[in-house]
Structure 1
Amino acid sequence: MLATPVRLARGPPGFPSFWRRSMDEFKRQATIAINMEGLREPTKPFPLIKFDQENSMAKCKVMSDQDMGGFSKASLTYIPGAAHHERNPEKEDAQKGGIIESDEGVEPAHTLFKGSISTELPPNKPDIQRSGYAAWRTRDRGMSLFGKLLWDIDPYSYLALRIKSDGRKYFVNIQTESIVPTDLHQHLLPTYTTGQWETVIIPFSQFVRTNYGFVVEPQKEMMRQKVRSVGIGLTDRVPGPFELRIADIYATNRPPAREMGREEAGFDLEEENHEGGTGMMDEIEPKRRKGEPERILI
């Protein structure tokens, strides 16, 4: 479908109109220039997605192997709760970055990522030999007078997620405006208090570059100046229900309470064997064979 002027003016679902997006982007860039934010490290948190209002659901896209004929199920549901507040560090606070929080003792407004994983294969697609995944990501934010709207999180060092997990093996996914459009930067979602609300913080430097679930070499640095989307996926292929609650995801300069090593990213960074059966995503684009150069789409 062609992007007509009317469709461009209306904008993607859940996002403001073309002219409103252009004005918001102008205000954002003007604020950076006036406050000279590029000359010093920012202390305020930079929200990527806040599930504090029901219309935030329209800004996200849910995916599962059901899209390819599989039997896993997934949904995002808005759960009302306490308001979200940005808290900047006090002058005497040694930690530089701000955080997002809610009133203590009250569950924050959030989204419930819920469903069930099934590894049953579609009977009418014999070429698919593996299934069992569910995920969601933020939608593209559309265009403005300044071009495609992307997040510039280069001034920040960490990604923070306020979550309540069931303890399953989720991965955080970041997609950038890369010359290899199918690349993702991924990291295992760390959880330390299963069944309780917590804010987990991941250094951007610890994310691993992957393509269709496989580690890609060389491990190029994430293009943090042009971030398209952020999301969470469940690919442990363990049949059964899952439930993850997310209040907000934001960039910050507040370091995590405990140091994280590259080994906690959730990937074996040794050279992997790419030969073998096909998965649900391979129908979209086959995996690159060992020694084969990257297919770069321009």
Structure 2
Amino acid sequence: MSRIRALWNASINATKRALTWNLEELMPPQEMCVFSFSSKEDLKRWHLYSDSEYGGLSSASLEVKDAENGLNGIFSGNLSSEVSDGSRWRMNRSGFCGMRSKKFDGFIDLDPYDTLAFKLKGDGRCYISTIYTENWINAPGQLEDNTWQAFVVLPRGNWYIAKTSVGFCLLQIPLASYLPTWRGNIVDARLEMNPSRVVGMSLSVNAEGGVPGTKSGPGDFKLEIDWIKALRSG
């Protein structure tokens, strides 16, 4: 009987180990790199936009430059509140620039994660992080993606990263902090993001608005960016 009991216990323990291994394999990693900005190839996944498309005079560039820890992306330019003479467009506001990820096949699945983390170096301005999800809120036939936005506030000259280490601070934005917006205005409704159907992201900056106390107004801007990651706290 003791031999049978021993075989039975060994079988049970083997089954438990197999189940544990399978669960570990099914669990997503604690973090996932969504976008990196360490090469020119990485930057090809993004395109720039600004008020210049509608008669404004703002300008932006995105390039890779050497930094202390390797190569980083540099999103920079100039914000102008002026409109070009003879513009065909009637603009409600000018003074904005942004960088948005290009369309890609499929979706970014952020469902296993609860936080976006950024490694950034700011200039004292308030930037806006936008997540675009597949259209499931707006009326059928409306082709625009759903947008969810959160402020990115970076004191000038400091590096903000997702993990604590000497000389570095944290910048983590919970997905729950992103608010639904429609053409820059917050949607006054109880809506929930579908993180499994992310179709793109962007970072943008406006000459006016943002968080009180941050740098604002026309003029130069510069945001250094190394990567964007998704984190799972559980």
> TM-score, normalised on structure 2?
0.75
Counting matched residue pairs gives: 190
Matches within 5 A, 1:54-65: 54-65=40-51
Matches within 5 A, 1:144-163: 149-163=106-120
Instruction: Identify which of 210, 224, 229 aligns with 1:245.
Output: 224
Matches within 5 A, 1:179-190: 179=136, 180=138, 181-190=144-153
Matches within 5 A, 1:116-195: 116-123=78-85, 124-125=87-88, 127-142=90-105, 149-179=106-136, 180=138, 181-191=144-154, 193-195=155-157
Query: Structure 1 residues 38, 133: CA separation in 2 closer, same or farther (over 3 Å shift)?
Result: farther
Gaps of 5+ in 2: 1-20, 139-143, 162-170, 209-216
For the residues of structure 1 that align with 2:42 and 2:176, how far apart are their CA atoms? 28
Residue 236 (structure 1) aligns with? 207
The superposition leaves residues 220-279 of structure 1 with CA deviations (integer Å, 9 ceiling, x where unpaired) of 111100001111010233200000000000100249xxxxxxxxxxxxxxxxxxxxxxxx
Letter in 2 for 1:253: R
The superposition leaves residues 12-46 of structure 1 with CA deviations (integer Å, 9 ceiling, x where unpaired) of xxxxxxxxxxxxxxxxxxxxxx9656954x34311
Contact 1:136 1:231 (8 Å CA) reproduced: yes
Letter in 1 for 2:36: K
For the residues of structure 2 that align with 1:243 and 1:171, how far apart are their CA atoms? 13
Residue 45 (structure 1) aligns with? 31
**Cα-Cα RMSD:** 2.1
Contact 2:51 2:94 (8 Å CA) reproduced: yes
Letter in 2 for 1:241: D
> TM-score, normalised on structure 1?
0.59
Which structure would you say has the larger Rg?
A: 2
Query: Structure 1 residues 37, 211: CA separation in 2 closer, same or farther (over 3 Å shift)?
Result: farther
Q: Which has the higher strand share?
A: 2
Paired residue secondary structure (1:205): helix
Structure 1 position 118, deviation (Å): 0.4
